[in-house]
Amino acid sequence: MRAQLLDGSANDVLETVRQLGFLQIDPISTVATPQHLVLWSRLGPFDVGELDRLLWQERKLFEWGALIRPIEDYPLILARMRRKRTGRYAWERRGTEFLQKNAAFRRYVLRELERRGPLFARELDDTSVRTWKSAGWYGNRNVTVMLELLERRGQLAIVGRSGGHRLWDLAERWFPEVDVPPLEEAERLLEEKRWRALGVRLARNGSWEAHPDADAGRVPARLTFLSPFDRLIHNRDRAEALFGFNYRLEMYVPKAKRQYGYYVLPILRGDRLIGRIDPVFDRKTSVLRVQSVHWEPGVKPVSLDRPLRLAPSTTARNRIRPRAPSACRSTRRRRTSRMPSASTRATTTRVPAIRLGRRCSCASPRSSPRSTASLSLLASARSRRSCTSSLRETASSP
């Protein structure tokens, strides 16, 4: 818990990301996006604009492969980017084949980004040829496939976001020049960072091995909720072995077959996972609804009032005006509540209009999709084009 900063010792966004190693990005935001929820679980209410500033202005963090990492790790990740593709995996073979058969499209993308970048994917024409069928995640978004393949290989960088849309540019215009270690050394250092962040790991003999820097001190009885993507429980088998907590994300399970709910969050108190909660934030009505609460066997129910009032969806320097559920008593000056013990009883908390920090807002379909922050970033990036060297194609294999 201490290694994961779930003991209340986290102080700021940057140091939290450095300690955790990375944040996973996902667009699902039933309550808040995973990257924000993971930070909230450790920091409590925080300015999400700080994460954007660290990424796009100060560049102390960077995004790669749907993960946010500290910039100090960039040389290690660059070693991964430049590794030789062996074709060991089917997805790797598909990517290599796509690049080989779309060499002209690849040159077009790089040329347009050099000349006009940074750009959104929709600003590039699709002249590609799909080399495999996809009826799922990508569909016909071949431009996105090309951009992500080039990002994976270190030629492109994500330099901003607007309404969830990624802004792309040449990596050489965004990242600093660094010395790249051998891949084997990079992997060793990344594994060491991962072990330190998790606190313990499974040794080859099947026993748990604590990191030398791990602190076994007492963990305060702090109450919070965890994202399904939180590293403490991301490895479901590890979570069950360490905490006896069987957790599965039922988002893709048919509603009638779900055991707990659509997007259930584990409830952490001190060093114990004591239950799970199924909250949903309705952004149209500004209502945070708790569909259900499920306690672990033998756990005495506790009040969840405080973490609910401080949840990311309900905090942006706004005060909450709760509507007390039937099981609660409330007054204008003082409010106390006890969560109902029945796992299926729902509570509803009404909150004022919510604005999650100072993120770039997504424009309406009829207007330009670029926010003011993105336009500022574009102007700054494009003003540097004249003093940037011409595109240098990497000599490594695709």
Say how far apart CA 251 and CA 264 lie, in whole Å. 9
User: Which residues touch 188 (CB under 8 Å, ≥6 apart)?
Assistant: none
d(CA 364, CA 375): 16
191 and 329 inside one domain: no
The verdict on residue 199 lying in a domain is yes
Kindly report, residue by residue over 47-91, the tens digit of the pLDDT.
Answer: 999 999 999 999 999 999 999 999 999 999 999 999 988 878 888
pLDDT in tens, 349-368: 333 333 333 333 233 333 33
59: Cβ contacts below 8 Å, ≥ 6 apart: 71, 174
Residues 45 and 124 in one domain: yes
Instruction: Please tell me the distance from the alpha carbon of residue 311 to that of residue 45, in angstroms, as a whole number.
Output: 7
Confidence at residue 335, expressed as pLDDT on a 0 to 100 scale: 32
**CA 151/CA 129 separation, integer angstroms:** 19
Residue 35 covered by a domain? yes
Indicate the average pLDDT of the chain: 81
pLDDT band at 311 (very low <50, low <70, confident <90, very high): confident
For residues 339 and 396, membership in a common domain is answered with no
Residues 22 and 44 in one domain: yes
Q: Is 360 exposed, middle or buried (0-12, 13-18, 19+ CB in 10 A)?
A: buried
Same domain, 7 and 75: yes
Any domain includes 357: no
Number of domains making up the chain = 2
CA distance linking residue 230 with residue 5, whole number of Å = 12
Q: Do 189 and 322 fall within a single domain?
A: no
pLDDT for res 135:
54
Beta bridge partners of residue 330, listed in sequence order: 335
Same domain, 195 and 301: no
pTM of the model: 0.79
Q: Looking at the structure, do residues 113 and 164 belong to the same domain, yes or no?
A: yes
Q: How far apart are CA 230 and CA 228, in angstroms?
A: 6
Q: Which domain holds residue 14?
A: 1-219+366-398
pLDDT for position 165: 93
With vertex at residue 379, the alpha carbon angle to CA 378 and CA 381, rounded to the nearest 5 degrees, is 65
- Regarding whether 23 and 103 lie in a shared domain, the answer is yes
Domain match, 25 and 106 both:
yes
Per-residue pLDDT at 219 exceeds 90: yes
Q: Is 178 found in the same domain as 193?
A: yes
More confident of the two residues 385 and 148: 148
